[in-house]
């Protein structure tokens, strides 16, 4: 009979845990999960079964049922680095499209997207392709994630007034 797969039912947030740990390297999308079978960078197979969909950040740890910890690392991803004059204005245009965006003091990072690249170039941005971990800002209503306009798992009514399109 095969051994039962070890499971993670809880998370320790970055700075709230210590000690040795294996690592699992996950993309931005893969760090948003509730239930999933994962394999650590060292080959340990484990199951994640969290009470709710959760946004894992680099430096968090999954606590396994046998007491071991699996640290979360952000995987390198194909990104566009956005620089240029009017960076605040460029950030507004990115946000207006509900696009995840990592904000640094002198640049913005978004996933590579030729449509957004064309739009940003047309607005005067300088673009460079980079490969780096992607850790965008959390949405104001998405509790760590940009959730489109639903603002979370349950939609709500804004009333009759709606001052922007979803185009």
Query: pLDDT tens digits, residue range 109-166?
Result: 999 999 999 999 999 999 999 999 999 988 666 555 544 444 444 444 444 444 545 4
pLDDT of residue 101: 97
Domain boundary (74, 93, 124) is at 74
Buried b (16+ CB within 10 A) or exposed e, 87-109: beebbebbbeeeebbbeeeebbb
State which of 46, 74, 102 marks the end of a domain. 74
How many domains does the chain fold into? 2
70 in Cβ contact with 44 (< 8 Å): yes
Q: What is the pLDDT of residue 138?
A: 80
Is the CB of residue 6 less than 8 Å from the CB of residue 63? no
**β-bridge partners, 62:** 11, 70
Which of 74, 93, 126 is at the close of a domain? 74
- pLDDT for residue 4: 67
Q: Can you give the pLDDT at residue 3?
A: 60
* CA distances for 82 relative to 106, 109, 113, 147, angstroms: 9, 6, 12, 22
Residue 66 shares a structural domain with residue 140:
no
52 and 83 assigned to the same domain = no
Q: 77 pairs with which residues across the strands?
A: 132
Residue 83: pLDDT over 70: yes
Contact 6, 64 (CB under 8 A): yes
pLDDT tens digits for range 12-30: 999 999 998 999 999 999 9
pLDDT at 8: 96
* Predicted local distance difference test score (pLDDT) of residue 145: 54
Query: What is the C-alpha to C-alpha distance for residues 131 and 28, in angstroms, rounded to an integer?
Result: 13
The domain in which residue 131 lies consists of 75-167
Q: What percent of the chain has pLDDT over 90?
A: 77
Residues 151 and 104 in one domain: yes
């Amino acid at each position: 009979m095969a051994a039962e797969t070890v499971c993670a039912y809880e998370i320790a947030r970055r700075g709230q845990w210590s000690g040795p740990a294996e690592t699992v390297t996950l993309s931005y999308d893969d760090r948003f999960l509730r239930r999933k079978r994962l394999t650590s960078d060292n080959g340990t197979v484990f199951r994640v079964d969290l009470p709710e969909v959760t946004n894992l950040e680099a430096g968090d740890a999954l606590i396994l049922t046998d007491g071991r910890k699996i640290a979360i690392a952000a995987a390198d991803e194909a990104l566009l680095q956005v620089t240029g004059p009017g960076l605040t204005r460029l950030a507004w245009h990115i946000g207006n499209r509900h696009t995840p965006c990592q904000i640094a003091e002198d640049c913005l990072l978004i996933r590579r997207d030729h449509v957004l690249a064309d739009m940003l170039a047309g607005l005067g941005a300088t673009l460079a392709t980079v490969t780096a971990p992607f850790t965008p800002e959390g949405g104001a209503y998405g509790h760590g994630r940009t959730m489109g306009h639903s603002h979370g798992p349950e939609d709500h009514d804004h009333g009759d007034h709606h001052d922007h399109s979803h185009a």
